Structure 1
């Protein structure tokens, strides 16, 4: 099942895309010749759509929570008697750190665009990109997504999921490297249309 098959709430939609990105990373790493270049073009499109939509829909909403919250109080070494790990609240969400990771990933993608996929340099930089993307996805899955589920009701998560789905559908299917900004622009425009029509 892909993200296009069902109307998913935002977190489930993004988890599905994370799985697709991880599979795409494996496909590029194991491919050769023209198949490698094609697999990388597909992966680049998916990452661009995913990160742009996440920034416009999810991170923007999470920033509202982060901006509204006072800084966490210093914790004592000994937790209170009634505080258990199950009741502990998530640590402050650092949206700027997530955005910084995404910006660095965008820069690595741009570097890879300029390299021959058959070269050793491409493989070395692609390995670096893959490690960073997986770490970033893990960070979102453990730090951001639980906060989204805790703080946003099911209806809002479904609306956000629909916006993410529209964003994915709006992007061109086989972009050339120079059109990465066009992908991002189309995603942003589609998301604005979804939210302005409410």
Structure 2
């Protein structure tokens, strides 16, 4: 996390993550061999942290002013695709085919959030609340494992989700 991220409100923080995810998608798509597996592990971690943090921090706050049902469905499907990819060899054509599908869906999901959800967040939540939510999102990101062995282990997605949820619960129980 860069020092300037400390002041980012929730929408700007999530937009930065969307840019990182898009870059990660390009990196995985263009990589080969061990570099592809490593790039996918990094991307899987980022997507898992991002989606879990949104589900735990932003969506609950927005349920009263925005129907987040379709976003949650997209996120659930994305998590399922990540889990499928997790079981495949990154050097296989099946991985490439499913990864392309995941990339298309993730980009469409991010576009939907940026067009439909984020403007409503900015309209309905004042800056102080968006900064508090941004802080909780950063705590969630910091809680996720960063070591390659923990990010690549079987069940990594579930482990990341649980650590992010614990961090978010902790952030809101103290505030």
TM-score (norm 1): 0.83
Pairs within 5 Å for 1:1-198: 5-7=4-6, 8-66=8-66, 94-173=67-146, 174=148, 175=151, 176-198=153-175
Which digits, 9 at most, give the CA deviation of each residue in 1:45-88, with x for residues without a partner? 0000000000011111111224xxxxxxxxxxxxxxxxxxxxxx
User: Deviation at 1:180?
Assistant: 1.2
Any stretches of 5+ residues in structure 1 without a counterpart? Answer: 67-93
Is there any run of 5+ residues in structure 2 with no aligned partner, and where?
none
Specify whether residues 21 and 184 from structure 1 end up closer, same or farther in structure 2 by C-alpha distance, changes over 3 A only.
same
SS at match of 2:155: helix
Partner Cα distance (1:117, 1:5) in 2: 34
Q: Is the 8 A contact 1:3 1:17 kept in 2?
A: no
**Alpha-carbon distance in 1 for matches of 2:111, 2:117:** 10
- The runs of at least 4 consecutive aligned structure 1 residues that moved more than 2 Å come to 2-6
What is the CA-CA distance between 1:196 and the residue it aligns to?
1.2
The alignment yields a C-alpha RMSD, in angstroms, of: 1.1
Q: 1:182, CA displacement in angstroms?
A: 1.1
SS of the residue 2:79 aligns to = helix
The structure that is helix-richer by fraction is 2
Greater radius of gyration (CA): 1
- If the length of structure 2 is used for normalisation, what is the TM-score? 0.94
Whether contact under 8 Å (2:5, 2:13) holds in the other structure is no
